[in-house]
Structure 1
Amino acid sequence: MTQIVEAAAATPAAAPEPPVRRQRTWIATVWPPLIVLAVLLAVWTAASSLLGDRSFLLPAPHRVFTEGLFDPAVFPEILAALGQTSLVAFIGLAIAVVLGVGWAIVMLQAKWAERSLYPYAVILQCIPMLALVPLIGFWFGYGVPARVIVCVLIALFPMVSNTLFGLQSVEKSQQELFRLQHAGRWTTLRKLQLPAALPSIFVGLRTSAGLSIVGAIVGDYFFRRGTPGLGSLMSAYTSRLLAAELYASVVVAALLGVAIFVGFGLLSKVAVGRWYDATKA
C-alpha cells in the first residue's frame, strides 16, 4: 500500500487555468441562460397582456414581484415557509444520502446482493408518490416526520443508482494493483472505490437535492400540521385565487432548487474537480 500512496503523491498537479480563460468560460456559462430568461419573460409578458380581463390567471412578471414577493404582507410568510421547506428538504436529503450510499455499498459486495436489492430500488422509483402520501400520513401522522419520509422516498433512487455506478466503474487494473498489495475489502473500498466513485456520487447528490425540494413541497402540500412550508402556501394561494402570490412562491421554490444544485456543483469541484478534470483532459 505504501507504493500506491507514493505513486499517487508523485502525480503532478494540474496547471492552473489562466485568468482570461476562466473569464471567458464564466461569460460563456452565464450569458446563454440569461438570454433564454429574457426571452421567456418577454413571452410571459406578451401572453399575460393577450389574456386581457383573464390576466389574473397569468399575472405579468412584474406583478409577481410587486404584488407577491416584495409585498410587505406576503414576503414574511414566504420567507418563513422557505425556511421550513429548506429544513425538511435538508433532513430528508441527509437521510437519503446515508441510505443510498450504504445501499450501494451493500450491493457492491456480491452479485447476489445486487440482484436481490436493486429491483426494489427500481420499484421504489416507479411507485407513484401521490399514491403513497395518504398511507404515509396514516402511518406516521401529518407532521414533519411524514414530510421527511416523502423527501427520502423521492430522493433515494438517484443516490443508489449513481453511487453503485461509480463504485462499479473502477478500472480493473487498479483493482488488480490493490489485490497484488493484499489490500482487504474495506481498504479497497475506502482508498480506491469510494474516491473513484465521488464524481458519480456528486451527480446523484445534485439530482437528489433537487428532488428533496420537490418532496418537501409535496409532503407539505398534503401534511399541513405545524409550521407551514411552501406547499401549504401554494395550496392556500390556489384556494383564494391569489395568482401573483402563488407564482411568487413557485419562483422562490425554483430559486431554492437552483441554489442547492449550484452549491453542490461548487462543492463537487472543490472535492474532486482538480484531479477528476485532469484525468479527463
Structure 2
Amino acid sequence: MNIKMKTPLLHKPAVVKIVAPLIVGAVLLIAWQILCVAWKVPIYLIPKPTDILTTLWTDGPGLLRALGVTLKITFLAFFTAVVLGVIAAFLFVQSKLIETSLFPYAILLQVTPVVAIAPLIIIWVKNPTLALVVCATLVALFPIISNTVLGLRSVNPGLLNLFRLNGANRWQTLVRLRIPSALPYFFGGLRISSGLALIGAVVAEFVAGTGGTGAGLAYEILQAGFQINIPRLFAALVLISITGVMLFSIMAWLAKISLSHWHESEMG
C-alpha cells in the first residue's frame, strides 16, 4: 500500500523563498519602530516606519509620478544596453584580435565613474532625456558584454568538436551551440544590468538636477533633503529599493521560464 506524504506548505522551496524574506523584513521593521519610539528618535534624524508609510500614502501620487520618470530612463537605458551589449559580444567572439583590441575599452566604460562624465554628457547632448539615458546605459552596458562573451566562449569542447566533424559552419555553430550555451550567462547579466540601469538613471538625475514635471525620484530626494523632510526622503528611497528588487525578480522569472525545462541552473 503506497502512502503519499504531502509536503508541508512552509517546506516548499518556492514558498520559503517568499515567506522567509518577508518574516525577516517584518522583524526588522518592528524592531526599527520599537527602538525609535523607545529612544524618542527625532523624525528629522530617522523616521519611524509608520511615518514613512504615512508619507507614502499622502505623497504617493507625486512620488509615483517621479518614479515613472525614473523608470522611463531606466527601461530605455536597459534596452539600449542589452542591444549594444549583445552586438558587442557577438563581435568580440568572432575574432580574438577584435576582442583583445576592443575589450579594454569596455572595461574603461565600467571603471569610469558616471558622476565624473555625466556633466560632460549633459553638456554635449542637448536633449535632457537622451543625456540621462546615455549615462544610465554606460553604467548598465558592461555586465551584458562580459557575461555574454563568457557564455559564448563557454562551450563544451566535445560538442564543439562534434559540430566541426559534422561540417557545421560558423553560423550553425553560433545559433545551435554557442547561443544556447550562453543563455544562462546572458540572463545573469540581465539581472545585474537591470539594477545598474536603475542606479545609473538615479545618479544621472542627481547630476542633472532637473526639476519640474519631468523630474525623477532623484530630484524628489534632493528636494526632501533641502527641506529636511526626512520621511519623504526615506519614502523615495523605499520606492527605489522596491523597484530594484522587482526588476531583479522579473529578470529571474524570465530566466526561469526560459531555462527551467532544459538547464540545470533553473531546474527545481
TM-score (norm 1): 0.86
1:100 — aligned with what? 85
CA 1:108–1:127: 2 relative to 1, 3 Å: same
What is the match of residue 112 of structure 1? 97
SS in 2 for 1:193: helix
**1:194 is the counterpart of 2:182:** no
Residue type matched to 1:108 in 2?
V
Aligned to 1:125: 110
8 Å CA contact 1:81–1:228 kept in 2: the answer is yes
- State the distance in 1 between where 2:219 and 2:228 align: 14
Name the counterpart of 1:266. Answer: 253
Quick one: distance in 2 between partners of 1:279 and 1:221? Answer: 37
- Which amino acid letter does the alignment assign opposite residue 242 of structure 1? N
Gaps of 5+ in 1: 1-17
Tell me: CA distance 1:113–1:206, structure 2 relative to 1, closer, same or farther (3 Å).
Answer: same
User: How far 1:117 moved relative to its partner?
Assistant: 1.3
CA RMSD of aligned residues (A): 2.2
CA 1:142–1:270 in 2, change beyond 3 Å: closer, same or farther? Answer: same
Any stretches of 5+ residues in structure 2 without a counterpart? none
If the length of structure 2 is used for normalisation, what is the TM-score? 0.90
Alpha-carbon deviation of 1:189? 1.0
Give the aligned residue type for 1:49: V
Give, in whole Å, the separation in 1 of the partners of 2:228 and 2:39: 16
Q: Secondary structure at the match of 2:214?
A: coil
1:208 counterpart (193, 214, 234) = 193
2:51 counterpart residue number: 63
Aligned residues of 1:49 and 1:55 also touching (Cα < 8 A): no
Q: 1:277 aligns with which of 249, 264, 267?
A: 264
Distance 2:47 2:156 in 1: 54
How many residues align structurally?
261
1:1-281 pair list within 5 angstroms: 20=7, 24-49=12-37, 52=40, 54-66=42-54, 68-71=55-58, 74-141=59-126, 143-223=128-208, 224=210, 227-277=214-264
Letter of the 2:167 partner, please give it. H
Distance 1:118 1:21, change over 3 A: farther
Work out the CA distance in 2 between the residues paired with 1:153 and 1:51.
Answer: 44
Change (3 A) 1:21 1:154: farther
Structure 1 residues 89-117: Cα deviation after superposition (integer angstroms, max 9, x where no partner): 01100010011111111111111112111
Q: Determine helix, strand or coil for the equivalent of 1:274.
A: coil
Aligned AA (1:103): A
